[in-house]
């Protein structure tokens, strides 16, 4: 449980010679009752763990698709407490590492210690907060450690070595490497930043590197893995299929196909 589960995941996938696949989906999508079942479907299709997005009204890093998912989830009743409960249902249902993704405002409004305690009690293993820079993350780092949770830090293609060093010094659960600048969303082309960003991070730390933002299909995931990433996060492509599906059952079929294709692509040859 907790940080140990995240560390163990990357230890296992490294030993298997492959990158981990961590799908993202918004908690409460398409509604709070159906949401946990879609994560269970992805677990059966080959996901190694999950980023569970807690819907929020002002999601700074999210593109239009994930924003719409958050609005739909909130309208369906996915408030903060419901979303944390779904995080726990995903963890206990799939038995895989689960990281909750949220923004700084809900954390500080609830209280850093109360928020991290609630996540830990639900069964979460880590936290991803894209609008909390490393320089301001000290209180959350301390609370996460008290409750056994891993905290993720971000590095972008524009990050200088001094920032990468600051991120490494924070001992993150993993480094979320932003493959493409801008908000989340599907991209047609594979990012040209992958190899350079991995090289610059590896020059400073051996912390796990997980690419997200713009990872849109199997070819993007494979390119990130070949660049030396320890994992990939895919969000918008998954969320879009749920939003476009006429029913939870149809969404489950779409997710099974997509997650299976990415998981198979990331398997080592032979």
pLDDT of residue 186: 45
Instruction: List beta partners, residue 53.
Output: 26, 101
Catalytic residue among 62, 125, 180, 230: 62
pTM tops 0.85, yes or no: yes
pLDDT of residue 64: 85
62 labelled catalytic: yes
Please give the span between the terminal C-alpha atoms of the chain, in angstroms, as a whole number: 32
pLDDT of residue 125: 98
d(CA 233, CA 20): 9
pLDDT mean for each 10 residues of the chain (270 residues): 94 97 97 97 98 88 86 96 98 96 95 98 97 95 97 94 96 91 50 85 97 87 94 94 97 98 91
pLDDT of residue 253: 98
Q: What confidence tens digit (pLDDT) does each residue in 238-258 have?
A: 999 999 999 999 999 999 999
Catalytic residue among 48, 51, 180, 230: 51
- CATH code for the domain defined by 3-265: 3.20.20.70
pLDDT of residue 215: 85
Tell me the HSE value of 124 on the side-chain side, using a 13 A CA sphere: 30
16 labelled catalytic: no
pLDDT of residue 189: 58
pLDDT of residue 193: 75
Q: What confidence tens digit (pLDDT) does each residue in 198-247 have?
A: 999 999 999 999 999 878 899 999 999 999 999 999 999 999 999 999 99
pLDDT of residue 191: 55
């Amino acid at each position: 449980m907790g940080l140990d589960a995240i560390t163990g995941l990357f230890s296992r996938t490294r030993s298997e010679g492959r990158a981990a696949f961590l799908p993202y989906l918004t908690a409460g999508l398409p509604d709070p009752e159906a949401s946990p079942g879609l994560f269970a479907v992805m677990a059966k299709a080959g996901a190694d763990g999950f980023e569970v997005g807690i819907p929020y009204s002002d999601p700074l890093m999210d593109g239009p698709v994930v924003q719409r998912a958050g609005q739909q989830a909130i309208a369906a009743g996915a408030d903060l407490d419901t979303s944390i409960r779904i995080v726990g249902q995903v963890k206990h249902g799939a038995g895989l590492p689960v990281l909750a993704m949220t923004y700084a405002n809900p954390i500080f409004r609830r209280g850093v210690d109360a928020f991290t305690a609630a996540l830990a009690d639900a069964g979460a293993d880590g936290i991803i907060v894209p609008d909390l820079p490393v320089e301001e993350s000290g209180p959350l780092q301390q609370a996460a450690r008290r409750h056994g949770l891993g905290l993720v830090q971000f590095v972008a293609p524009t990050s200088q070595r001094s920032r990468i060093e600051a991120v490494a010094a924070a001992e993150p659960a993993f480094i979320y490497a932003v493959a493409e600048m801008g908000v989340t969303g599907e991209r047609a082309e594979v990012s040209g930043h992958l190899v350079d960003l991995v090289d610059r991070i590896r020059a400073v730390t051996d912390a796990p590197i997980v690419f997200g933002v713009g990872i849109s299909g199997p070819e993007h995931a494979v390119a990130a893995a070949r660049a030396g990433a320890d994992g990939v996060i895919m969000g918008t492509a998954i969320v879009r299929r749920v939003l476009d599906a006429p029913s939870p059952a149809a969404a489950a079929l779409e997710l099974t196909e997509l997650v299976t294709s990415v998981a198979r692509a990331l398997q080592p040859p032979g």
